[in-house]
Amino acid sequence: MLLSAQGTHPRTPTAVPRAALGLALAAFAMSAYAFVTADHRADAVLLFGLPAPFDPSAPVGPQWLAVLSWGFTALGRPRVVAAVLVIAAGCLMVAGRRAPAAYLLGSVVTGVAFGIFLKKTFGFIRPHHAPMLGEEAATSFPSGHALLASLLLFSIAFAVLRCASPAGRFRVGALAFGSAAALSLLVGLSRVHLGLHWPTDVVAGWAAGAGWALLFSLVFVGQKRELASGAK
């Protein structure tokens, strides 16, 4: 994930990314338990008084807040994610950064496939929203918008980090990952505010998206290291 002082080979993964993966897995497992068992005690706490999913009173607050939520939730729409992915990967390719571009494309494409697998796996166990909503109810877990947004944003952050010079890596990483976390948070909160998902749906989406970006980064860098070692 991080480059060496010479800027050619990645360092050995530290305990930080491994701990982050463990945290993501634990968050997803907690959310999956709430979905499978229909135990929404955690959701009741995380709603902070907001209406439950698809409650007619949602969204609460002034009109401008609802408009803001719809704006943020759009960041997790498949078409928006696809457009940003093409632009970001294209810019990296034009700049001659083929490895980060390959990572970005590979991470998002495989992460989308992983998200579809999760939606199909859990969606047909128990649709926990209003039955009249049909297919949307059957695929509520995990939140696709939260998953796509965190997958794209954290993948971009990892790609940007790989482009940074050793001297500026800390500052670039702080800005990239801080921005990714903030925007992912806003997308997920908008889904809850609009009454479209339980909080645990969103937590699972965050964990799956960001966790996949991190896992793919570790695997990708490991493969690059093996290729570099074999070429010597």
> What is the reported pTM?
0.85
Report yes or no: 142 and 208 within 8 Å, Cβ to Cβ: yes
Asked if 128 and 38 touch (Cβ cutoff 8 Å), the reply is yes
The domains of the chain are located at 20-38+58-127+135-219
- Token match 């697998």: residue? 117
* 3-class DSSP state of 88: helix
* Residue 220: partners with Cβ closer than 8 Å, 6 or more residues away: 102, 103, 106, 107
d(CA 116, CA 110): 10
Q: Which long-range contacts (CB under 8 A, 24 or more apart) does 36-44 make?
A: 36/122, 36/125, 36/126, 38/126, 38/128, 40/198, 40/200, 42/199, 42/200, 43/198, 43/199, 43/200
Q: What is the pLDDT along the chain (232 residues), one digit of tens a residue?
A: 433 333 444 444 467 778 888 999 999 999 999 898 888 899 999 999 888 888 888 889 899 999 999 999 999 999 999 999 999 999 999 999 999 999 999 999 999 999 999 998 888 776 676 655 555 556 789 999 999 999 999 999 999 998 888 888 889 989 999 999 999 999 999 999 998 899 999 999 999 999 999 999 888 775 555 444 444 4
Q: Are 149 and 183 in contact (CB under 8 A)?
A: yes
